[in-house]
């Protein structure tokens, strides 16, 4: 299985523009749908120098409008910065247009700047997120109900039953327990199996019968090329920028597996999260791990490099896997 991840960052030294990357994103998403990519992943951050995408529902809905089969996953939507009733309405509208093809991981957010920007209390992020998820799920009943002295009524309701795919994100024990309490799948941002174990234990204690956790283990960026040395040289500055900025955003109460502290290509490659692979190596990665996460516009690279990676995936990697039977 292949996934394709987009963030649409443009570092100050990049030669592309945000407008160009947004157009490339739509073209690449359409290509993914035509060529067997299972899922497109988008995300959310605010107030970043490089213009990290801030409107994931807009980007997701645009991708779904350009495609017929592919899943689009928002990982993650930073719920403390949104009105949960509007989120319920927007996801319902998307689900009516593309039933069952949107998956949203609800994140608690972590960057202090973003909480200041939206006037939110970071110390309440867990409680606020849990209350918001409960409200969203209630909104999707399609029936009016009372909430804080107001009548809430979200119409039309989503078509997917029992509701559109929601997952709970996070990287600490509280996140695992929250997911179990809410009776929702758990998608941690860190490869910590103990979090998944805690989630399953709490789900069993609460009588939640269908728990499901997705524990990432990387790599979180795969680029396919006939000449890894050439491609590493072309993307090195962009990759180090991307990994370094993510690393600078980490806190004691948050960790993302994409955050890597590296000074050079060797450090990135040694992390296990950044792989520039030949078609044969990529095919072996999929055999070993079951999937590969392509990142064709990582760090604002020349889109031609990303297109080369996608075409090699189609023309070289997929045939190698198909030959396995």
Residue of 76, 50, 52, 51 lying closest to 237 (CA atoms): 50
Query: What pLDDT band is residue 291 in, cutting at 50, 70 and 90?
Result: very high
Q: How far from the centroid of its chain's Cα atoms is residue 81's Cα?
A: 17
Which distant-in-sequence residues (6+ apart) come within 8 Å of 12 by Cβ?
A: 49, 50
pLDDT tens digit sequence for 237-277: 999 999 998 888 887 776 676 777 888 989 999 999 999 99
Q: How far is CA 84 from CA 73, 81, 110, 150, 217, in A?
A: 18, 9, 18, 14, 31
Tracing tokens 């327990």 back to the chain, one arrives at: 177
Per DSSP, the three-state class of 7 is: coil
pLDDT higher than 70, residue 18: yes
Nearest to 30 by CA among 20, 45, 40, 42: 40
* CB proximity list for 139: less than 8 A, separation 6 or greater: 84, 85, 88, 89, 92, 152, 154
Cβ neighbours of 247 (radius 10 Å):
15
The stretch 33-40 carries a mean pLDDT of: 98
For residue 257, the model assigns a pLDDT of 67
pLDDT in tens, 157-173: 999 999 999 999 999 99
Which is nearest to 293 in space by CA: 73, 104, 98, 126? 73
CA gap 83, 78 in Å, rounded: 11
Q: Per-residue pLDDT tens for 91-113?
A: 999 999 999 999 999 999 999 99
What pTM, to 2 d.p., does this model score? 0.96
Burial class, 40, CB count within 10 angstroms (exposed 0-12 / middle 13-18 / buried 19+) = buried
- Provide the token pair at 111: 């960057």
Instruction: Indicate the pairing of strand 221-224 with strand 274-277.
Output: parallel
- Percentage of the chain lying above the pLDDT 70 cut: 98
Spell out the residues 6+ positions from residue 255 whose beta carbon is closer than 8 angstroms to its own. Answer: 171, 189, 190
What would the pLDDT profile of 126-144 be if each residue is shown by its tens digit? 999 999 999 999 999 999 9
- Nearest 5°: phi and psi at 217? -135, 0
Is the CB of residue 294 less than 8 Å from the CB of residue 224? yes
User: How many whole angstroms separate alpha carbon 310 and alpha carbon 67?
Assistant: 17
Name the token pair of 14. Answer: 């990049």
CA torsion sign for 288, 244, 256, 21 is: negative
Count of other CB atoms within 10 angstroms of residue 252: 6
- As a whole number of angstroms, the distance between CA 173 and CA 269 comes to 29
């Amino acid at each position: 299985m292949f996934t394709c991840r987009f963030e649409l960052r443009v570092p100050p030294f990049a030669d592309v523009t945000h407008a160009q990357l947004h157009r490339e994103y739509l073209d690449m998403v359409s290509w993914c749908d035509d060529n067997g990519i299972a899922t497109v992943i988008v995300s959310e951050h605010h107030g970043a120098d490089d213009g990290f995408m801030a409107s994931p529902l807009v980007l997701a809905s645009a991708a779904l409008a350009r495609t017929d089969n592919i899943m689009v996953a928002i990982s993650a939507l930073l719920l403390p910065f949104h009105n949960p009733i509007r989120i319920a309405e927007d996801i319902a509208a998307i689900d009516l247009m593309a039933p069952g093809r949107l998956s949203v991981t609800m994140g608690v957010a972590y960057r202090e700047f973003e909480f200041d920007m939206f006037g939110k209390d970071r110390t309440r992020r867990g409680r606020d997120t849990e209350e918001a998820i409960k409200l969203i799920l209630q909104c999707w009943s399609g029936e009016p109900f009372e909430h804080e002295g107001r009548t809430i009524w979200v119409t039309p309701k989503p078509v997917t039953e029992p509701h559109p795919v929601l997952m709970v994100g996070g990287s600490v024990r509280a996140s695992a327990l929250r997911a179990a309490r809410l009776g929702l799948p758990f998608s941690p941002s860190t490869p910590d199996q103990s979090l998944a174990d805690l989630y399953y234990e709490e789900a069993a204690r609460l009588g939640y019968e269908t728990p499901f956790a997705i524990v990432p283990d990387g790599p979180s960026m795969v680029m396919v090329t006939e000449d890894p040395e050439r491609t590493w040289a072309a993307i090195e500055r962009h990759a180090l920028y991307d990994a370094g900025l993510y690393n600078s955003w980490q806190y004691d109460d948050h960790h993302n597996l994409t955050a890597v502290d590296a000074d050079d290509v060797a450090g990135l490659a040694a992390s296990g999260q950044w792989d520039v692979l030949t078609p044969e190596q990529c095919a072996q990665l999929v055999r070993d791990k079951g999937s590969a996460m392509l990142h064709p516009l990582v760090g604002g690279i020349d889109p031609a490099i990303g297109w080369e990676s996608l075409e090699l995936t189609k023309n070289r990697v997929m045939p190698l896997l198909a030959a396995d039977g």
